[in-house]
Amino acid sequence: MTKRVVEHLLAIVVVGAVFGVLIARMHEEESARRTALDPAVQEALRLPFLDFGDPLDRALFRETLDALAPHHRSRHNSLLQKIAEVRREQFTTEAYKTGAEERGITSVKLLRVGAMYLQFIAIYVLVMAITVYASETLGVYRFVRMKQKKSSSLTRCLEVVRDVRLPHARRVVEAARHLALAIAKGLLSMVLFSPAYVIAYSFKTRFDTDSVVFMVVLGVLSNGLLITYAHKFTTFLVAESRKGYVETALVKNLFHSYAARIPDGIPLVAMVRLRKRFPGHVFHHIYLNAHHQYLPALKEHASLLISGLVIIEMALNIQGHLSYEMLKNILYRQYDVVLLIAFGMYLLVKGTEVTVDLMMEREARRLENRASMGGNDR
């Protein structure tokens, strides 16, 4: 474990150093670009009582210079021309269009971006917790339904239509009910696979800083995240249920019915519980082992989740959020700030990786101890 933590730390140090060098270099280039301005132009532009946009002020400035140094009229012309060029550049070049903000990484900007970063982490942790819980619950539900051999609503609808034993009126009602259920499930599937911006623009045209709840809901439901990881968890459960120890457990008379309404079965309440436990049932062991295998997938989940949140914040232009700030800085070519935010996101992914490694280590130790004491979850 120590080796893995050292690897992570080394990666953070090296990447941090690379980002640091790049940021410092961009900062220097920016300063050099600014100091490359003619000192005379800089000095003239600093005069608070002159407005170089006003022709009267320009004429007054020129006459004053001519009066002070009458032999350098051409130099004065050239200075005024340079001032006009710099002003034009300030009005037209995108690089200057950052409002009243100073360019580069300043302490004010660092504080503002830091606050946005903390907000991003809070949203990330919340969405992560909800998606992990929801994908496990959905995965368990799908697996149990599979074991209950329940057919899909569309198949049920067709079965009801073909069932001539049922009275006609009841057949129509039942078929309509199953068809409506099938359509609702189809629409829900479409929502779960929709990219966030498709769902979002279906409901709203403008997104503000108060859209945090909306963002969390979108983060959980959109971009296919929930459905992908629910499916992954079901796959782990299916693979686990095919292993030999399950057969052994059945021979040893562990409960193995997946019916919902019998005492030894799997009730819905147990499936939706935060801490899922199925005592005495073979599924308890299947679930624990699948959960153990699911832990490494959280690393991949973290990266996808961050991508999803970035897409939501950028595509919906949610001002005052980290990804929107990043987008704005790409637009104004302040790449040092962009790199700083990208490094922040890298740190978040690395932080998740370290946490997952620690969780896996703890889980492995717990299983080993249990094995040495005679009990075995497997």
Partner 1 sequence: MKAAPVWQRKDTLWLAVWIGGLTVLGLWDVAFLNRPALLRLASASWNTAIIGCAVVVCAFVFGWSSALALHALDHAGRRWGYFVVTFFLNLIRSVPQVVGILLGYVVLTLLIREEMVGSQTTQLMAIALVISIFVFLEVTDLILERIRYFRKLDFFDAMLVSGVRESRIINLDILLRNSRAHLVHKAIQLFGSSVFLLCSVDFIVSVGLSTDVSLANFPPTLGGLLATMDSKQDILAISTVLTDPLSAPRLLLEHLQGISTAFTIVFTLLCVFRMSSAFVARRRLE
d(CA 78, CA 81): 5
d(CA 378, CA 360): 16
Question: Minimum CB separation from partner 1 for residue 103, in Å?
Answer: 16
Question: Minimum CB separation from partner 1 for residue 143, in Å?
Answer: 12
Which tokens in the block code for residue 236? Answer: 């782990």
> Helix 73-92 to helix 55-68 angle, to the nearest 10 degrees?
150
Q: Which is nearer to partner 1, 366 or 378 (CB)?
A: 378
The residues binding partner 1 (CB under 8 A) are 11, 14-15, 94, 189-190, 193-195, 197-198, 201-203, 205, 223-224, 227-228, 231, 235-236, 238-239, 242, 303-304, 306-307, 310-311, 314-315, 317, 324, 326-327, 330-331, 333, 338, 342, 345-346, 349-350, 353
d(CA 61, CA 72): 14
DSSP state of 99: T
Amino acid identity at 297: A
Q: Which is nearer to partner 1, 79 or 352 (CB)?
A: 352
d(CA 305, CA 251): 42
Question: Minimum CB separation from partner 1 for residue 355, in Å?
Answer: 14
Q: Which is nearer to partner 1, 166 or 349 (CB)?
A: 349
Contact 156, 247 (CB under 8 A): no
Q: Which is nearer to partner 1, 44 or 339 (CB)?
A: 339
* 3-class DSSP state of 255: strand
Question: Minimum CB separation from partner 1 for residue 279, in Å?
Answer: 26
Contact 281, 254 (CB under 8 A): yes
Q: Which is nearer to partner 1, 106 or 317 (CB)?
A: 317
Question: Minimum CB separation from partner 1 for residue 187, in Å?
Answer: 11
